[in-house]
Structure 1
């Protein structure tokens, strides 16, 4: 079975999302994404600050 691929531009895609799921559909997956980024950012910040202390680097 062949399926004809349809390509939509950005505006048409946004309109389709709003029609099918409303404006909240744009934010689907936001909370899981933030929960994934938060620990990563915290670890990066901790390591950066810790290495500044270990290496005795003064901040500008």
Structure 2
């Protein structure tokens, strides 16, 4: 397996789980944003690991 393909697939999978702009616009003002924050943190972590793997070569 190619690590680059695995990383790209993982990044794509995490980003696909995030709500789109239209979905976010429809959220009530009092919505609990903790689940979204967790998803964004997970996406951030995946991207950081991807960048670190690129730097290592």
> TM-score under structure 1 normalisation?
0.39
Identify which of structures 1 and 2 has the higher relative contact order when contacts are C-alpha pairs closer than 8 Å and 6+ apart.
2
- TM-score, normalised to structure 2, is 0.41
- Whose helix fraction is larger, Structure 1's or Structure 2's? 2
Structure number with bigger Rg: 1
